[in-house]
Amino acid sequence: MFGRRQIREKWMLLVPAMAVLGVITLAPLVNTLWLSFTDAKITAIATPVNLIGLENYIYALTDPDFQDALWRTLYFTGVSVGLEVALGIAIALLLNQEFRGRTLLRALIILPWAVPTIVNAVAWRLIYHPEYGALNSLLFQLGFISSYQSWIGSPALALNMVILADVWKNFPLVVYVALAALQTVPGDLLKAAAIEGAGPWKRFCAITLPWIAGPLLVVVVLRTIEAFRVFDIVYAMTGGGPADSTKTASFYVYQEYFNYLRSGSGASYAVLIAGISAVLILAYYAAARRQDQGGRA
């Protein structure tokens, strides 16, 4: 009798949270799925909505512009997350050393991550400005360029410039996770390897990196999900241009839904992006599981 009472109390506590979760998560998801199978449009006057089956999905999967946006998003995700991890580990290793002012640097390194994304995007737009931007001034004074460049006005450069701004904002997250993981690396093991003749690079590859791989995998998963659905920094810096060179998949969905007012096809694009994100997450979790099983073996 006491067990049933405990179970009933648990459900009474869980039901409000589950109801809120259902309203704010499941209801929009179900509505988006339903819209993706219709020809719904956003109009001022109510119009009938017809079920059209898989027509939106077939159109989306054969749409060359959407395919280009997906490849662009994968490029953005791979390059930005890769640079953030490499830069974050390097700076974490530096901050893990004993030197004067280390505590102050550890505190300052979090500042880029604390800046709102829109503020970061506007700041980098000013840095990239073709007439009075700081980047042009610096490179011109150092002699690396002979004339000022339009960094985000060139289709060949714009996406890489957005990636640079995104890396600057998000690498501190990797730094802090890696730095926390480095505190758990056994110092005796590193000293023993050094006595055996292992150099710094070999000690890093053989001991340090495998030791911090687990925490790093978590932050890689989080950053991959965020990078794959990138929208705000692109919207604020380039608006998807020039010549669609920075139009990512999420930006494509935004245009389909709110510019062209095609909510049915926009929903199908959104479902496809969510499906690809789910595949990426499952791949990372599979990798983490293999690593965990390898560590236990």
List, for residues 98-137, the tens digit of each pLDDT value.
Answer: 888 888 998 898 899 889 999 999 999 999 998 888 999 9
SS3 content of the chain, % helix, strand, coil (to 5): 75, 0, 25
CB 195 within 8 A of CB 138: no
With 60 as the cut, is the pLDDT of residue 229 above it? yes
Q: For the chain, how many residues are written? A: 297
Q: What 3-state DSSP class applies to 121?
A: helix
Could you say which of 1.10.3720.10, 3.40.50.720, 3.30.2350.10, 3.30.300.30 is the CATH number of the domain covering 64-295? 1.10.3720.10
Count the Cβ atoms, other than its own, within 10 Å of residue 271: 20
User: Domain-by-domain residue ranges, the chain?
Assistant: 64-295
Residue 129 vs residues 90, 160, 176, 238: alpha-carbon distances, Å: 30, 15, 31, 12
Structure confidence at residue 85 (pLDDT) = 94
CB 200 within 8 A of CB 162: no
Q: What 3-state DSSP class applies to 53?
A: coil
Structure confidence at residue 43 (pLDDT) = 83
The mean pLDDT value for 197-210 works out to 88
